[in-house]
Amino acid sequence: MNFTQMHERLRLELLRRINRGTLSVSLLARQTGFGQPHLSNFLRCKRQLSLQALDRLMTAQHLAAEDLLPVIRHPADATAGSEAGKVPILSNSGVLFEPYIRTSVVHSMLHLPVDLLHSLQSRPSKPRRAWQRFVAIRISSSEAHPMDPLIRPHAIALVNRHYNSLAPYRTDQPNILALRNGPKLLLRHVDFLANRIVLRPYNRAFPVELLELELHETPGDLIAGRIALIVNEL
């Protein structure tokens, strides 16, 4: 792992902790002695830090270099999916907050044809390109009902995390996207209007909802990925 890779992986790990509510920029500033604007610029990819500064951040958060290494590796292309067609099935928080998949967050594996994974298109934002691309999630009843019957309870959904764009994948049908709403994961059709993400359920018994963006956020920050495949239980 070179300096640039460590730099980016530390940034993503700190953002993951902030998003999960276990860390804040103000707390990190107190721990390291860096100013909050300095840290915010680093977290938003607006500046790079020196090796000494990275070391101070890692010490403050009790991180070692091996903590930033991905456990599941893809030798030829870390973004294209496993050569064996194995996709890790994760918890909601793993899909939302884990850029690099550790063994401890993998529940089981979904086996898919390699050609299928390679055929899927991507539209990642720049920060998302460093994330492991394909993950899967088992959908609970409460998460499935708003999209019923497209998604049934206990279905397994393949999430392409390199498609965190609002652009339609196909012109004749809307995307189903996995989104972050605080610590929760939602599955919805999505529009964007007046700086708000409009969450549209397929099941009309459920209401349309709005997600407000923070000043520094873009829609891609809240989109975990596109649902590329749904495996419903028979």
- Write out the chain's pLDDT in tens, 234 residues: 677 778 888 888 888 788 777 788 999 999 999 999 999 989 888 888 888 998 899 999 888 877 776 554 444 444 444 456 899 999 998 899 888 887 778 899 999 999 999 999 999 988 888 889 999 999 999 999 999 999 999 999 999 999 999 999 998 899 999 999 888 899 999 999 988 999 999 999 999 999 988 877 889 999 999 999 999 875
pTM for the structure as a whole: 0.70
Check if the beta carbon of residue 100 is closer than 8 Å to that of residue 88.
no
Strand partners, 227: 159
In this predicted structure, what is the pLDDT of residue 70? Answer: 59
For 216, counting Cβ atoms within 10 Å of its Cβ (0-12 exposed, 13-18 middle, 19+ buried), the class is exposed
What domains can you pick out in the chain, each with its CATH number?
A: 3-68 (1.10.260.40), 86-231 (2.10.109.10)
Q: Of 79, 77, 120, 116, which is closest to residue 99 (Cα–Cα)? A: 79
What is the C-alpha to C-alpha distance for residues 212 and 225, in angstroms, rounded to an integer?
A: 18
Element (H, E) at 96: helix 92-97
Instruction: Give the E-state strand segments of the chain in sequence order.
Output: 86-90, 106-111, 134-138, 156-160, 177-181, 184-193, 196-200, 209-212, 223-231
For residue 95, the model assigns a pLDDT of 92
Spatial contact of 100 and 69, defined as CB atoms under 8 Å apart: yes
pLDDT at 192: 92
Question: What pLDDT, on a 0 to 100 scale, did the predictor assign at position 97?
Answer: 85
Phi, psi of 43 (to 5 degrees): -65, -25
Cα separation, 183 vs 150, whole angstroms: 24
pLDDT of residue 6: 80
Q: Is the dihedral of CA 66, 72, 78, 79 positive or negative?
A: negative
Quote the pLDDT of residue 71. 53
CB count in 10 Å sphere of residue 71: 14
Omega prior to 174 cis, within 30 of 0: no
